A = this chain, B = another copy of it.
Amino acid sequence: MDRMKNAGVISIGNELLSGRVVNTNSTYISQFLKQYGISVNFIITIGDDKSAIIQAIDACRLHADLIFITGGLGPTHDDITKTTIAEYFNSKLVFHEDILNDIRDLFRRRGKVMSESNVSQAMIPDKAQIIPNPVGTAQGMKFQQKDKTFYVMPGVPIEMERILIDSVSIDMEQLSEARINTLTIHTTGVPESELYGKIENWISIQKQIGISILPHFTHIDLVLYSGDTDSLTLLDIAKRQLAEKLGEIVYGYDDETLEMDVANLLIDKKMTIAVAESCTGGLITDRLTNVSGSSAYFILGVVTYSNESKVLLINVNPETLKRYGAVSSETAKEMALGVRKLSGCDIGLSSTGIAGPPGGSDEKPVGLVHVGLSMSGFLESFEFRFLQDRIMNKQLFSQMALNQLRLTLLRE
């Protein structure tokens, strides 16, 4: 087989140039192609404009083997993409009765009547191979010109994704010499430099595995990839080696979230949990209940925003609040203990801090949080300091609370 094919993406739509819509489709296409070892060389974003579309296709033909074109196929776009492309490939639009029936059917199943403007969506260039769109009215199209292949798809993300997964994947499988396998390792709680220090030597001796370090706002991912014929075995070995080097800072792999890892630990240990939140305002319980089946371990959450509710509902001592303040290690511990007692759960978790923007002082600045944790025979609090804005602080605080819960459960 020849050298690996490469790709170019053309994203069409005025909304992408005006800044109203972020171009996530091109990101999706890049990720989709990466698993087949096909790399995207460039992405060109243009408006619904005939001459711009033609110029972009001309430029792409010079620099890529596979050209992915998205957008401008809806009935409200005056079919600018489809008529332009038909012209570009010296093709004429032909009416397809069966496609119109499919479209009419789609409307019927949604309990709606098809509008006349949808008839144009049954017109397809005669030189195009139709790529079925099972979830929308605009069909995908494929054009072959010498050694260049053009895929034309609607811009609605869910429709484009289905066309890629259901149909384009079959072509890509054939092109791909070896499928690229990837493994994402999620870590939290240590900065990038410290993470890197732990695996620097390991990275330097890798030959068959590529590695990216991707810092996110609340966590850092390691992405490993390999196109080797043995890549699954290689990634599995790497996973075990890295798990050993990184230890408890790893909380999950691929699609797993921190809250899923916490859920699994709680289910394994047959433990139930209740949460008392102040500064995080419900975000910890929101995250815990994002996991399907969370009612197995999550019993009760309280957001005791005022001092009064801390006293009345979860039995925080008014003296503690007076002496140490609501944002203190002491209050965090009493909140955790109080909500555990109230709920009868095995674990009580709490947060109290200053999300900002107002409310900070020299001693207790914005970004300070105390996390409390109570279990049978165990009562601790943990302090963290950040420097972000209100919404970011809530995210970081909830991450620290869930991570501290995870670490404590691991060590128990």
Contact = CB atoms under 8 A, between A and B. Distances in A.
A16 B42 CA distance: 9
Interface in A270-317: 275, 277, 280-286, 288-290, 292-295, 298-306, 308-309, 313
A204 interface: no
Contact of A39 (B18, B275, B288, B343): B18
Given A305-B300, A390-B290, A24 B22 contact: yes
A45 B46 contact: no
Interface of A: 16-24, 26-32, 34, 39-47, 52, 55-56, 59, 63, 212, 214, 223, 275, 277, 280-286, 288-290, 292-295, 298-306, 308-309, 313, 342-343, 356-358, 390-391, 394
Q: Most chain-B Cβ atoms within 10 A of its Cβ — which of A24, A212, A300?
A: A300
A220 to B, nearest CB: 13
Contact of A303 (B223, B300, B357): B300
Contact of A41 (B17, B282, B305): B17
A351 B95 CA distance: 50
A45 B26 contact: yes
A112 to B, nearest CB: 10
Given A44-B44, A285-B281, A302 B302 contact: yes
A6 to B, nearest CB: 10
Contact of A285 (B28, B47, B282): B282
A302 B299 contact: no
B286 A283 contact: yes
Contacts of A283: 282, 286
Contacts of A52: 41-42
Number of copies: 2
B281 A286 contact: yes
Given A301-B302, A305-B289, A19 B23 contact: no
A217 to B, nearest CB: 12
B303 A285 contact: yes
B19 A22 contact: no
A281 B292 contact: no
A212 B301 CA distance: 41
Contact of A27 (B23, B55, B212): B23
Contacts of A46: 41-42
A138 B20 CA distance: 28
A294 to B, nearest CB: 7
A394 B285 CA distance: 12
A77 to B, nearest CB: 14
Nearest to A214: B20
A284 B30 CA distance: 36
A302 B305 contact: no
A22 B16 contact: no
